[in-house]
């Protein structure tokens, strides 16, 4: 009996399979890439990049570090958004450190950094970006740069510290913020802990499809800290941990290799990301004090 069904169409099957593969390998990643285009106030992009902890998360009652009680400070960014900070005044301090923290938590999570700086004899002004802690607003790449400038202005104009008395300190995402700030303002030194080479580089490492977007499409040029370190800058200290899983040590290595003099590198073997006990151990503490004592 003759078969009524036609023979299997392998050519059609191969074309259909290719279309399905192309959909999942190209179209779907491209859709997410478009959703992640790093434009200001792109909700999905900001959701991935920023992880703020709002008050009351954190220890806000009677903040004391190294025996110094913090003064509550509120100031306004250039957009009029209220920013919260802590001011630790160390009697007799030669320097004040402006601390720009990373993308998670809030300023209450940086007690170990406050302690180290105060014990080294420095005053500290730590602040929260918009949307973090007690600060109003919501974070994006432009807003947090505005906040850092407001913090610098407070120290320089309200507290009347001279540029040669101000140390700019950034950790994790805050290193990119600090790099942007240091390109616009004079200071005594810049310290980058667990540095981010650029958001563009880290984004491409995590999601290779973002390589399709050129640097000009990234706000703030992709937060390229490399642009800052290779130019003329005050004494620079870079600190990184070889076991950092959040920001691989390759970022710190690349920045140090690219940086112009004067520069110092504390490469902590076995150290992790910010807050890690090994990273915040004696090698870093003693190296930090030695670096600061060497400043002109």
Of 164, 155, 190, 175, nearest in space to 100 by CA: 175
d(CA 220, CA 216): 8
Per-residue pLDDT of 183-219, as tens digits, reads: 999 999 999 999 999 877 877 777 776 666 666 666 5
d(CA 183, CA 233): 8
Q: What is the pLDDT of residue 201?
A: 80
pTM (2 d.p.): 0.84
Which residue, chain included where needed, has tokens 């920045």?
255
d(CA 94, CA 189): 13
Which residue, chain included where needed, has tokens 């974070």?
139
Residue predicted with more confidence, 18 or 1: 18
Per-residue pLDDT of 118-147, as tens digits, reads: 999 999 999 999 999 999 999 988 899 999
Q: CB of 130 within 8 A of CB of 80?
A: no
pLDDT of 105 higher than 70? yes
Q: What is the pLDDT of residue 214?
A: 66
207: left (phi over 0), alpha (psi -120 to 50) or beta: beta
Structural domain boundaries in the chain: 16-293
Give Cα separations from 25 to 13, 146, 200, 201 (angstroms): 18, 39, 22, 22
Q: What is the pLDDT of residue 47?
A: 73
Residue predicted with more confidence, 39 or 252: 252
Question: Helices 141-153 & 173-182, crossing angle to 10 degrees?
Answer: 60
Which residue, chain included where needed, has tokens 């004592």?
293
Q: What is the pLDDT of residue 1?
A: 45
Q: What is the pLDDT of residue 39?
A: 47
Averaged pLDDT for residues 158-167 = 98
pLDDT of 104 higher than 80? yes
Q: What is the DSSP secondary-structure string of the chain?
A: ----SPPP-HHHHHHHHHHHHHIIIIIHHHHHHHHT---TT-HHHHHHH-EE-BTTSS--SS-EETTEEPEEEEEE-TTS-EEEEEEE--TT-S-EEEEE--SEE-GGGGHHHHHHHHHTT-EEEEE--TTSBT--S---HHHHHHHHHHHHHIIIIIS---GGGEEEEEETHHHHHHHHHHTTS--SEEEEES--S-HHHHHHHH-GGGGGS-GGGSGGGGT-HHHHHTSS-S-EEEEEETT-SSS-HHHHHHHHHHPPSSEEEEEETT--STT-TTTTSHHHHHHHHHHHHT--
Averaged pLDDT for residues 73-98 = 97
pLDDT of 175 higher than 90? yes
Q: What is the pLDDT of residue 9?
A: 61
pLDDT of 66 higher than 50? yes
pLDDT of 167 higher than 50? yes
Per-residue pLDDT of 263-281, as tens digits, reads: 999 999 999 999 899 999 9
Of 251, 257, 124, 242, nearest in space to 176 by CA: 251
Averaged pLDDT for residues 56-63 = 92
Return the CATH number of the domain spanning residue range 16-293.
3.40.50.1820
């Amino acid at each position: 009996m003759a078969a009524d069904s036609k023979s299997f169409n392998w050519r059609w099957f191969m074309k259909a399979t290719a279309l399905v593969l192309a959909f999942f390998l190209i179209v779907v990643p491209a859709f997410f890439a478009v959703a992640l285009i790093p434009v200001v106030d792109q909700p999905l992009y900001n959701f991935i990049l920023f992880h703020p902890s709002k008050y009351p998360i954190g220890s806000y009652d009677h903040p004391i570090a190294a025996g110094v009680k913090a003064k509550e400070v509120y100031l306004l960014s250039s957009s009029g958004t209220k920013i919260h900070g802590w001011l630790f005044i160390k009697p007799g301090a030669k320097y004040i450190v402006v601390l720009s923290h990373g993308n998670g938590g809030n300023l209450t999570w940086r007690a170990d950094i406050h302690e180290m700086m105060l014990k080294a004899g420095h005053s500290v002004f730590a602040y929260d970006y918009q949307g973090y802690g007690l600060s109003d607003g919501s974070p994006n790449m432009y807003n947090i740069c505005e906040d850092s400038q407001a913090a610098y202005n407070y120290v320089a104009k309200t507290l009347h510290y001279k540029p040669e008395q101000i140390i700019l300190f950034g950790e994790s995402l805050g290193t990119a913020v600090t790099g942007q700030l240091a390109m616009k303002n004079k200071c005594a030194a810049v310290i980058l802990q667990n540095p981010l080479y650029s958001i563009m580089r880290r984004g491409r490492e995590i999601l290779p499809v973002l390589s399709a977007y050129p640097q000009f499409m990234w706000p703030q040029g992709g937060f390229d800290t490399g642009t800052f370190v290779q130019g003329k800058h005050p004494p620079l200290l870079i600190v990184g941990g070889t076991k950092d899983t959040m920001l691989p040590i390759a970022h710190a290595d690349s920045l140090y290799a690219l940086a112009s003099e004067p520069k110092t590198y504390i490469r902590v073997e076995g150290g992790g990301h910010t807050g890690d006990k090994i990273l915040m151990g004696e090698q870093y503490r003693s190296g930090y004090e030695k670096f600061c004592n060497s400043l002109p």
